[in-house]
Structure 1
Amino acid sequence: MKSDEMLLNEQQQVTSDWFHQLRDRICQQFEEIERQAASPASFQVTPWQKNTEGYGIQTGRGIRSLMKGQIFEKVGVNISTVKGCFSPDFAKKIPGTEDDPHFFATGISLVAHMANPHVPNIHMNCRFLQTTKSWFGGGIDLNPSTPYAEDTAEFHQNLKTICDKHHPDYYSRFSEWADRYFDIPHRQTKRGVGGIFYDYLDSNFAADFAFTKDVGKAFLDIFPKLVARRQNRAANQEDFQRLAVYRGRYTEFNLLYDRGTLFGLKTGGDADAVLMSLPPMAIWE
């Protein structure tokens, strides 16, 4: 993605480059997990580019990377860098657009739906946005259809360690934010076992960017260990049934409540990239 062609400022360029590098590292590591399982699966890479007039993306490009394998039934790793102008209605929901609806956004989004019901599914997203203001957002949340207390505890402890490195209040704030955000009110349940979620982080660019980079690095440290722990555990029909029902709940949240899905579609992003988060198969009882 040659983001320099979009005439990015220094902050926009360095964040866009980092998300691109993180995407390469994740895809490489996930392909290695498949190779260790004697699977030939690899990411199918689809670049996209849009230049439009009016509301939405005026200039934007990204890469949609999708892999379907033996361990990862469906995993998508997307990056995008876009510039545009919010519609008047949508601009009301975004900080810094009171007098100027123009925006810049760059980020990475990942969703992994696993083949074995005992391996937790996971979501990770990191982003940098600029209007007349600028901020970072993102997080990681774990979505097992068969929860294991050991996995959940280790996952949260790793996130706490990363958060504590940057601020003593980050873990309590961002884990509580994740619990609120990943609520499915019409089901009176949560999506998954939590994680961290943060937005509008704008205290200091260098410090906030360092934290966001550590969130991405933490993902690479945490998730492969959980995959290795559970990927060979035998699963029965009841396990797969529970996985399919859980995926239905996941789909409901992403289509009804997820802000990232709404942002991508409202700003004219690539629809297939935006909706890559949906599972390959789900059921509703």
Structure 2
Amino acid sequence: MTSPAATTYRVVLGIFLRSLRERAGLSPTEIAQRFGWYGVGKVSKLEAGTVRLTEEELTGLLDAYGVTEPEAAKLHEFGAVARTRTGGGRTPAWGDTYKVLEAHASEIKTYRETVLPGTVQTEDYARALLSMSLTTPPSEVAGAARERATRQALLTSDNPPGFWLVVAEPALLRPIGGTEAFRAQLERLRELVDLPHVTFQVLPLEQGEHHAVGTPFTLLRLNVPALSIAYLEGLTDANYLDHPKETDVYTLAFDRLRVTALDDRTSAKMLDRRISELK
């Protein structure tokens, strides 16, 4: 059977293949005809990550799309994981796909309105949020919270991504997990804010309307393979938008949010004040 990691990488590989095909200006029909596949069904399934892709098929697709090194090598790495057959099979949770993309990103730009993003969450803060989840079984909350807290290691690694975080002021006011847990969360955020590759800004309440009201999102940029993705999360699923017409809009929205928000020094001082208020 296919392992959870394999099914997740299969979905991720499909996202890349769709983007590469569109970048090459080829239609699903043209690819199906080139490989002698009956109809476009197999192309759609490969790009959705619902069927396995052989190494030979992957090599042929990358050649058709004009993919060269080092992109090709990285995609073959993804393909090798996607073909593994250890452990029990399952359909990957939509969050698993995001974690793989996040781990390979060179830049992460996140806007949040009411809660802090998973990348900076402490275990207690994450546990409080997950305990309210309608899709996470109570028996899995503690383990999911521990796993989420480990994602901070990405920001403190030897080769971290650039990380930009814009939060609306309510995210600093809602005491998720109670006063003590929330204070510990903000103190940990304050430590991360001091990292040289982290930029933190607050959008104050008095700002009023702005370009992303009601729409928290994350922009991921991967260098190898080259891809930009806008990620939008819901209660039961998530959307991964990779068409330039879509990602360009979210990039512009994030750039304008940064102009509208307080600068990094003023934002850090606001965070310090909030921490002091909770003591």
Fold-level match, TM-score > 0.5?
no
Structure with the larger RCO, 1 or 2 (CA within 8 Å, 6+ apart): 2
> Given the two structures, how large is their TM-score scaled by the length of structure 1?
0.29
Please identify which structure carries the higher helix content. Answer: 2
Q: Which has the larger radius of gyration?
A: 2
> Given the two structures, how large is their TM-score scaled by the length of structure 2?
0.30
